[in-house]
Each structure stands twice: as structure tokens, then as C-alpha cells.
Amino acid sequence: MKKYISKSLFILCALILLNNNHIYASPFDEDSIIGKIKEGVVDGYDTVKTKAGKVKDTVVDKAIDIKDDLVDKAKDVKDSIVDKAKDVKDGIVDKAKDVKEGIVDKAKSLKDKFKEKANKVKEVVVEKYGNVTDKINSHFNKDKIPSYVSEAIFLPGHESKEMICQGIAYLPDEVMDATQQGDGNYYRYVLLSYYPKESEQPSQIVVIDRKTGKPIKRFPLYKKNGKPYTGHAGGITVAGKYVWVSSSRTLYGFSTQEILDFIADNKTKAQAEEGIPDSLDVLPAKDLTVVDYYDVDSKASCVSFDGKYIWVADFAKGIGKEYSPIKHHKIMGRNCWIAGYLVDSDGYPTSKVEYKYTEDGSEETAHKPDAVIAMRDFVQGMAFCDDYVTLSVSMGPINSRLAVYKNPMEKDGKKITYKPEGCKESFTVEAWELSSLKNWKKTKTVSAGSEDLEFDGKNLYVAFEVSSKNYHKTWININPTIKTTKYFYIIDFDKMMD
């Protein structure tokens, strides 16, 4: 039954197609009808297929367009979200930065205010404490100048922080045979050496006239190459043709005659310079250039001349790295030595034996001493006073001591052998010792900050740094009981020893 219904439907569809395609045939021509029907069906199928393909293509194109449109919109949304997120991030970062800067500024402002208030409080406390320490110090310095001091001459240049005095020496009136110096005659002029503490200026030599007690001339010091000498100038001494200034294992020789000639020059006027204390800046000045160098086996912290030897000594502390001793100077149970060099009549050292050694990683050059004397630590100056040797012992805000020993060289010394670090060769030298048990005679307590010493055959010269603005108030605040002085001393040695 289904077969006939399907066939009838097929025939009906075919008639419809035939009718639509204007096919007319005799109802009795069955083959013709079927053939036409087949053709119509095939043509109809192709038409439907073509239309379906076009519909499909249209649908696919529209789907692709929709897809592309959706992708573009999604990309736009994504970009928009990213941009908005970046803007939000940048805004947060900027705000965080502003907040941070605000906090930092406020913290800095609070810190500055606190520091300002703290400084004001500190100034008040320091001032009040300073007033107290000044009164205490005044009580302990009622009799400032010891009775054995024959002359106490104002030490200039310490009213500000630029320069600090270290060395002291007498100056003969003329260049003389070095071996004839130190005969106890009156020497009118005193030489003081200064190093720059808060100044770009070179180290200086200043001439003091003992008759007036006033500074009269100033000499800025220069090396042979024209560069300023800015060394510590820890000691100064005159030997014949040379004024020797000591520091950093070297003796710097300047012309005695050049200094004497400028003292006699009354035409040169002072010219103001920056970095020079007012009391020294008013002096006529002449640049002084090194005429010779001499390397010594010593730290050359101080220097003295006794008419036979130039003596150069170490300042050292046995404990700690700062101011540590030179290793091969540790002899006779001591950390330091005084190296003695014989001189010719011109005042130039005669030792020709030269060697190099290593100290604290640096290569040093030295001449072999003709004699050495082992001594204690903390020595700032020394002088050979005929039958005695005097040491200037000081360190910071404590009273200094002038320690006097019997001259050990009156007896035979002991031959010792030493080998400087890094040297292949060893050396032998005659040695003596300054000992509190063997040859100490007397100790005098003097103002804090004693430095270099010199002896002229009658008087002992003592320089001090305590009056420097770099130290004076600070030391008194630390130790109000210390002795202080604004002078350098010329001591009657015999009177001191009575």
C-alpha cells in the first residue's frame, strides 16, 4: 500500500513539475510522460542543488563575517580592558608614589625638625657643660706656667682650625759649621712648623722673634717638583746649611740661608691668603722649596740635632693597628727607636748604606742609622740635652710629661742585628736603651699636647698643640682637669733638673 502511495506522490510531483515547466503530453503517451518527468526531476534537482549551494555559501559567508566581527569585537574589548587595566595600574602607581613621597617628605621634615631641636638642646648642654668644664679647668690652671720656664711665648695660628703647630727649633743668626751648634748662646729666632688641618695650603714654617715675642715671617713649603708639601711636619731642626723638617720616614732639607735672608728683608709686605689663620696671614711670606731629601729608617715623627747626630724618632702605640710600630724597630723589649745619623760640617747625614723594605704593604727606602736608641711608646718629641735625653710624652686629653733620662751613650752600646721586612740582607748597629729602671732621672708634668723638643746647649724648647681650636675645647670637655697653655716654652734645663 505504501509503495502505491509513494508512487502516486511521485507522479503527482512530476505532474506539478511538468506543469511548472509547461510540459504538455498526451495522457496516454506513458513513455513520453515518464521521460519528461525524469528530465524535469533531474532539472529540478539541479536547480534545488544550485540554490542550496548558493544558500550554503551565503550562510558560510555570513557565519565567517559574524565570526570575524565577533573576533574584532572581542579584540577591541580585550584591548579596552588592557588599556583600562594599565590606566588603573598607572593611577595606583602614581598615587602610591605620591603617597610615598609625601611620607618621605614628612619623615624628612620631622627628622630635620628633630635634628634642629636636638642640635639646639646639644648646643645648650654643651655650652652649659663647657662653662662648667672651663671653670674646673681654670681652677686647675691657676699657675699655668711652671717656675722653671724662663720664657713662655704666645703660640700663634691656633685661633682657627686651619693649621696646627708641631715642630720647634732655635735658629742661629748665621749659617755655621753644624758641629759648632748648641753651645748655649742666645738665639734670637725660633722656628715653628705647622701642618694644614683644615686648609688647602702647604705646611708652614713661622719665625718668632724672642725679643718681641711676635711672629715676623712665614714660609709656605714646597717639594722640588713644585707641589705643596703638606706633610705632618712633626719636627724641625737646624743643622748647618739645612733646616730639616721631618715626616713620613723622610727628612726634607730647606736652605738656612734663604730663611735668614728673608728675615733680613724688610721690603716684602704681607698678602692675604685663604686657608691661613689670621695671626699668620698678616706676616710677609716667601715660598720655600726643598733643596734636598734624605730617607731615614724611622717614622720621622720628630727630629732633633745635638751638634753631632741628627736624631729622628717614631711615634707609635704597641696596641692596635693605628700608629703601629715598624716591625724591625722592636728591639730590647721596646716598640720604637730613635735613629741617629752622623752629619758633616754642612749638616748633611753621612750614612751611605741604603736599603728598601716593606711595611704595611708599601715599599719604603731608608739609610742605615749610625746609632739607635730603644725607647717607650707615645713619644712626640725628643732632645739630647748634654748628659741627658728628654722625651715629650703625650697623647690626647691627658697631661703631658717631660721624661728625662741619663744619656745612655756615655757607656758602650750593644751590637744588634736587624733585618727589615722584605730585605735579603741583615744589618748591624750599635744600640742603647732609655729605661725607667736603668737610666730614668726625672719626669715633669706639663700641659697636654706637648710636641717637638729642641735643646740649644742651655734651654729646652717645647711646642704644644693644645691651644689649637681643633683640640682645646674638646679636650677640656673630655678631661676638665688637664693642664693647658697657649704658649710654647723655653725652659732653663738646669733649673728644671734642680
pLDDT, tens digit (0-9, with 9 covering 90-100), for 228-245: 999 999 999 999 999 999
Residues whose CB is less than 8 angstroms from the CB of residue 221 and which lie 6 or more positions away in sequence, other chains included:
202, 203, 204, 205, 228, 229, 233, 245, 252, 254, 288, 289, 290
385 and 482 housed in the same domain: yes
Q: What is the pLDDT of residue 18?
A: 45
Residue 125 covered by a domain? no
181 and 264 housed in the same domain: yes
The yes-or-no verdict on residue 21 having pLDDT over 60 is no
Q: Which whole number is the average pLDDT over 339-349? A: 98
Q: Which among 391, 481, 397, 396 has a CA at the least distance from the CA of 442?
A: 391
Q: How many structural domains is the chain composed of?
A: 2
pTM listed for this prediction:
0.76
The yes-or-no verdict on residue 27 having pLDDT over 80 is no
394 and 433 housed in the same domain: yes
83 and 162 housed in the same domain: no
Q: What is the pLDDT of residue 35?
A: 72
Q: What is the pLDDT of residue 1?
A: 45
pLDDT category, 31, cuts 50, 70, 90? Answer: low
Residue 388 covered by a domain? yes
3-state secondary structure of 415: strand
336 and 403 housed in the same domain: yes
- Domain membership of residue 53 as a residue range: 1-114
146 and 100 housed in the same domain: no
* Average pLDDT over all residues of the chain: 89
pLDDT category, 444, cuts 50, 70, 90? Answer: very high
pLDDT category, 106, cuts 50, 70, 90? Answer: confident
d(Cα 17, Cα 127) in Å, to the nearest integer? 126
Q: Which whole number is the average pLDDT over 11-32? A: 49
103 and 171 housed in the same domain: no
Residue 160 covered by a domain? yes
43 and 181 housed in the same domain: no
CATH number at residue 262: 2.120.10
362 and 254 housed in the same domain: yes
The yes-or-no verdict on residue 314 having pLDDT over 80 is yes
308 and 218 housed in the same domain: yes
More confident residue, 70 or 263: 263
Burial per residue of 201-239, b for 16 or more beta-carbon CB atoms within 10 angstroms, e otherwise: bbbbbbbbeeeeeebebbbbbbeeeeeebbbbbbbbbbb
